[in-house]
C-alpha cells in the first residue's frame, strides 16, 4: 500500500497540470464518498458535503459560502459524471498543451469554472424558467473543461481527432456540436444548472482563443493569483549569501509564441515530407523532425 501511495505521489509531482487536475478531482470524489459512508453508518448529523461545496444559486447563501465558486468545479457526485469530465479534460488538454503552457491551462480551467458559476447564478436569479425552480446548487468540472475544449478548438480549429465510426474530424466541429447540444438542452429540467454553466465556460474559452490571437492573454492575472496561492504552501528557502545572477524566464506569451512557431515549422516539414518524400528533406529538416519525434 505504501508503494502505491508513493507511486501516486511521484506521478502527481512529476505529472502535467492535466494529471494534477485529474488527481485532485478524483481524490475529492473518493474522500467525499468515504466521509459519506461514515456519516450514513453512524447516523452523523452533519452538513451535506455536496451542497456545502457546491455553488448555490441563492445570492445571500453564496456570499456566506464564497469558497464554493472554486470548490464546486472539483466536486462530482456520480462516478460517470467524474469520468466523462476527466476524459474530455485529458483529450483536449493534451491538444491545448501543444500550443500553451500548463500555467495557462490551469488558469483557463479556473476562469472557465468561474464563468460557468457566475452565469448559473445570474440565470437562476433573472430568467423566469429558472427562478420558478427555486434555489439550488451546482457541482462539477464541466464548465471548466468546456473552457479548455473551446480554447483549444478555436485557437487551432484545423487540428483533427479520430472518432469511432466517424473517422477524422476537426476539433472545432466537436466543440461547436457540444455547445449547440448544451444550448438546446437549456430547457432540460433534469440538469438545468449544468447546461447553463457549460455555456458560460464555453464562452470564456472562446473569448480566450479569440483574444490570444490578437495578442492578449486574458488568463494572465489569474496565473499570478494561482502562483501566489501555491507559493503560500511552498517551504521557504534560506537566502544564500552568494550573489547569483539568474537568466530571465520566459513569460507565458513568449513561451506560447515559441511553441506555436516550432509547431508551424514542423507542420511545414511534414507537408514537404508528405508531398516529396523523405529524401527531399535537407539535413537540417531531418534533424528538426528527429528532435521533434523525441519530445
pLDDT at 237: 64
Within a 10 A sphere around the Cβ of 233, how many other Cβ atoms? 6
Q: What is the pLDDT of residues 125-148, one digit of tens each?
A: 999 999 999 889 999 999 999 999
Please say if the pLDDT value at position 241 is more than 60.
Answer: no
**In sequence order, what are the beta bridge partners of 169?**
161
Q: Which parts of the chain fold into alpha helices (H)?
A: 2-14, 17-41, 49-53, 59-64, 68-71, 79-96, 102-123, 128-131, 142-155, 171-184, 192-213, 220-231, 252-276, 283-293
| Distance from C-alpha of 222 to C-alpha of 218, rounded to nearest angstrom | 8
pLDDT at 295: 58
Please say if the pLDDT value at position 149 is more than 60.
Answer: yes
Confidence of residue 246 (pLDDT cuts 50, 70, 90): very low
pLDDT at 229: 87
| Distance from C-alpha of 5 to C-alpha of 49, rounded to nearest angstrom | 25
Q: What is the pLDDT of residues 34-70, one digit of tens each?
A: 998 988 888 877 668 888 999 999 999 999 999 999 9
Mean pLDDT of the chain: 87
Confidence of residue 14 (pLDDT cuts 50, 70, 90): confident
CA dihedral 35, 41, 46, 47 (to 10 degrees): 60
| Distance from C-alpha of 81 to C-alpha of 28, rounded to nearest angstrom | 13
| Distance from C-alpha of 57 to C-alpha of 168, rounded to nearest angstrom | 40
pLDDT at 250: 61
| Distance from C-alpha of 101 to C-alpha of 95, rounded to nearest angstrom | 11
* All residues at 6 or more sequence positions from 260 whose CB lies less than 8 Å from its CB, including other chains: 99
- Mean pLDDT for 263-290 is 75
Confidence of residue 286 (pLDDT cuts 50, 70, 90): confident
Q: What is the pLDDT of residues 175-194, one digit of tens each?
A: 999 999 999 999 988 888 99
Chain centroid, CA 130 distance in Å: 27
CATH number of 2-231: 1.20.1540.10
The model's pTM: 0.79
| Distance from C-alpha of 28 to C-alpha of 137, rounded to nearest angstrom | 18
In degrees, rounded to 5, the angle at the alpha carbon of residue 264 between the alpha carbons of residues 259 and 268 is: 150
- Mean pLDDT for 206-225 is 94
Which is nearest to 2 in space by CA: 26, 235, 10, 35? 10
Phi, psi angle pair for 283, to nearest 5°: -60, -35
- Higher per-residue confidence, 98 vs 283: 98
pLDDT at 247: 47
Please say if the pLDDT value at position 252 is more than 70.
Answer: no
C-alpha cell at 139: 457541482
Amino acid at each position: 500500500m505504501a508503494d502505491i501511495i508513493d507511486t501516486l505521489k511521484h506521478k502527481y509531482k512529476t505529472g502535467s497540470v492535466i494529471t494534477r487536475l485529474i488527481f485532485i478531482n478524483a481524490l475529492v470524489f473518493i474522500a467525499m464518498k468515504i466521509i459519506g459512508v461514515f456519516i450514513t453508518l453512524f447516523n452523523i448529523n452533519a452538513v451535506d458535503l455536496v451542497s456545502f461545496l457546491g455553488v448555490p444559486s441563492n445570492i445571500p447563501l453564496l456570499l456566506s459560502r464564497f469558497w464554493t465558486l472554486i470548490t464546486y468545479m472539483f466536486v462530482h457526485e456520480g462516478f460517470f459524471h467524474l469520468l466523462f469530465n476527466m476524459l474530455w479534460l485529458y483529450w483536449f488538454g493534451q491538444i491545448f498543451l501543444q500550443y500553451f503552457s500548463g500555467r495557462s491551462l490551469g488558469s483557463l480551467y479556473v476562469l472557465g469554472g468561474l464563468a460557468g458559476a457566475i452565469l448559473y447564478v445570474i440565470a437562476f436569479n433573472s430568467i423566469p424558467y429558472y427562478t420558478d425552480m427555486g434555489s439550488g446548487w451546482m457541482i462539477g468540472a464541466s464548465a471548466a473543461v468546456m473552457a479548455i475544449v473551446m480554447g483549444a478548438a478555436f485557437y487551432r480549429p484545423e487540428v483533427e481527432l479520430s472518432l469511432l465510426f466517424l473517422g477524422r474530424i476537426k476539433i472545432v466541429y466537436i466543440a461547436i456540436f457540444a455547445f449547440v447540444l448544451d444550448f438546446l438542452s437549456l430547457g432540460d429540467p433534469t440538469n438545468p444548472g449544468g447546461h447553463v454553466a457549460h455555456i458560460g465556460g464555453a464562452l470564456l474559452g472562446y473569448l480566450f482563443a479569440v483574444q490570444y490571437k490578437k495578442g492578449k492573454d486574458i488568463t494572465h492575472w489569474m496565473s499570478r493569483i494561482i502562483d501566489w496561492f501555491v507559493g503560500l504552501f511552498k517551504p521557504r528557502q534560506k537566502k544564500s549569501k552568494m550573489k547569483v545572477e539568474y537568466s530571465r524566464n520566459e513569460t507565458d506569451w513568449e513561451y506560447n509564441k515559441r511553441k506555436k512557431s516550432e509547431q508551424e515549422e514542423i507542420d511545414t516539414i511534414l507537408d514537404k515530407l508528405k508531398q516529396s518524400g523523405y529524401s527531399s528533406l535537407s539535413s537540417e529538416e531531418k534533424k528538426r523532425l528527429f528532435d521533434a519525434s523525441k519530445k
